[in-house]
Amino acid sequence: MSGDGPELTVTNVAFAAIPVFLLIVTMLVGKLKWSAPRAGAVSWLAAVVLSVFVFGADQSIVVIGSSKGLSLSLFVLTIIWTSVLLYNVIEKMGGISVIGTTMTRLVRDPLAQALIVGWAFSGLVQGVAGFGLPVAVVAPLLLMMGFSPVRAAVIALVGHSWAVTYGSLGSSFYTIQLVSGLDPDTLGPHMAAMFAVPTIVTGFAVAHLQGGFGAIRKGWFAILLIGGAISVSMWLTTVVGAYQVAAVVAGLVGCGVGWGLSRIPRLGLYGDQPVDLKPDNQSPNSLTFNLAFLPYYVLFALSIASQIPVVREFGSDLRFGLDYPETITAKGFIISSVEAYAPIRFLNHPGPLILASLGISYLVYRFRGVWHSGVGISAAKATYSQVVSNSVGVGTMVMMALLMTTVGMTTLLGEAIARATGPAFPLLSPYIGVLGTFMTGSNTNSNAMFGALQIGTAQALGIGLVTIAATHSIGASFGSAIAMSKVMAGTVLVGLSGKERDVLVKAIPYCILVVLTVGIQAWVIINVLDE
């Protein structure tokens, strides 16, 4: 990307901010509170008008920028569609209940329940599904264990937030990587390493929610061990390039370590009162935990296999992606040509791998006699109803973001923010991620909307692009604790419908505290470690 581009003036910056301003106002202010698809469409139309009449774009540039948005959306949405379908298939077979009940049977102490189920297991569910499902699954489990409705909902909201960027089988990670243009093998491990401290802080937040400072004093050592195990396993998974299962692996390791620690009386998580949760309607053909989890076992194996050098090389040309030419606006802003933009690699992309794991699992289920007639159709219908609105929202918002990037609006805003914030920008950066998630309910959408803006600001300041890209997505991840769509999911399922404010007010301070550690960490990395 090069070229002079639009001049940095107050008027141009104000024009460039209009699409984002419209998105915020229409979704959050007063009686409007439009849906994401409607707000995204209006914001994209505003970006089109401004691109043509203010920023020197012609019809072809508008089409190319918007098409890039659709290409990026397709890359992300195929992960979303298939991951939600996978979850729904298992849920329709009764597998989610089996997995959840098995987890709760292993945990006795209330603090252990909060940390293992509300922190580690919620992250595991986020890793494989996302889209509010961790809250939908975990909050009722905590309620069954004796937690109050508000506490159950807030623990699930705060507890799952560490896993969101690498959750939904990596959809948010792939979005920030594509928007930023950074090498995934550089960004992935760096981001995972930066997740370590705030993830552990999230564990302390969950403990405080369960029992105040007494719970922190009781379980601080166990929290450090569980958080350390989660962080190291997530980092190691990204090092080998298996980004789509990083949160899943970390969640599994966190659950395992937490359960092991709950067997040791001196570590603060031991309890001697068993949880009485009995699965209903058991039959000889009921799913066991291993059968319920089979699709994810298969997915792990396929994901690891896809990273073998021979497989990666063989599949490098088996891809779908559109080529885009160089564009230059009348204002002199240039975007270089690109081949196979946002490519879907059939042997490496999570979407095809998820479908393959579903196919293999289906054969096993049929052989074992546990497959139920109509599961596939029922799961497909549920998936459609869950993702259709979100998909339109993702498409329109990403089209807006990519068009703004193509005509130089994003770079202009980045330069303006850089001049306004200067050295303090790393402290602000994660809260921009939170804003995006709060507005749209999605880490993925936040990355698509504001990721390029963050990169543009970092370039203007001359600071580390990898650190800022990671900081944005990490902030957006923890912002999921206060995303209204997830808050509403939690309140409905624990009997607090209409009392969303009670949950939100309790969750916001924990979100602000965790994100503050993200900003401080970014500031130290950039200004002290000079990276």
User: What is the DSSP track for 4-73?
Assistant: --S---HHHHHHHHHHHHHHHHHHHSTTT---HHHHHHHHHHHHHHHHHHTS---HHHHHHHHHHHHHHH
- DSSP secondary structure string for all residues of 412-478: HHHHHHHHHHGGGHHHHHHHHHHHHHHHHS-HHHHHHHHHHHHHHHHHHHT--HHHHHHHHHHHHHH
The amino acid occupying position 214 is: G
- The span from the first CA to the last CA of the chain, in angstroms, equals 23
> Which is more confident, 354 or 195?
195
Predicted confidence band of residue 452 (pLDDT cuts 50, 70, 90): confident
Q: Over range 186-196, report the average pLDDT.
A: 95
Percent of the chain residues topping a pLDDT of 70:
90
pLDDT digits (tens, 9 = 90+) for 498-517: 677 788 889 999 999 999 99
User: How far apart are alpha carbons 187 and 455 in whole angstroms?
Assistant: 13
Residue 284 in this model has a pLDDT that exceeds 60: no
pLDDT digits (tens, 9 = 90+) for 286-314: 788 889 889 888 877 887 787 677 887 88
pLDDT for 249: 92
pLDDT for 281: 44
User: How far apart are alpha carbons 133 and 469 in whole angstroms?
Assistant: 26
pLDDT for 1: 47
pLDDT for 6: 86
pLDDT digits (tens, 9 = 90+) for 455-471: 888 988 889 899 999 99
Predicted confidence band of residue 231 (pLDDT cuts 50, 70, 90): very high
- From its phi and psi, is residue 408 left (phi > 0), alpha (psi between -120 and 50) or beta? left
pLDDT for 224: 96
Which two tokens mark 419?
């001049």
pLDDT for 158: 95
Which range in 47-51, 100-104, 380-384 is most confidently predicted, on average pLDDT? 47-51
pLDDT for 45: 96
Q: Which residue has the tokens 């259709």?
A: 388
Predicted confidence band of residue 12 (pLDDT cuts 50, 70, 90): very high
Q: Over range 254-281, report the average pLDDT.
A: 70
- Which range has the worst mean pLDDT, 28-32, 47-51, 218-222? 28-32
pLDDT for 235: 96
pLDDT for 84: 80
Predicted confidence band of residue 484 (pLDDT cuts 50, 70, 90): low
Helix ranges (DSSP H) in 240-293: 246-262, 289-292
**Element spanning 275, H or E:** none
Q: Over range 374-390, report the average pLDDT.
A: 87
Q: What is the pTM assigned to this prediction?
A: 0.72
User: How far apart are alpha carbons 109 and 211 in whole angstroms?
Assistant: 12
Residue 147 in this model has a pLDDT that exceeds 50: yes
Percent of the chain residues topping a pLDDT of 90:
42
pLDDT digits (tens, 9 = 90+) for 312-349: 788 778 888 899 999 999 999 988 898 888 888 888 77
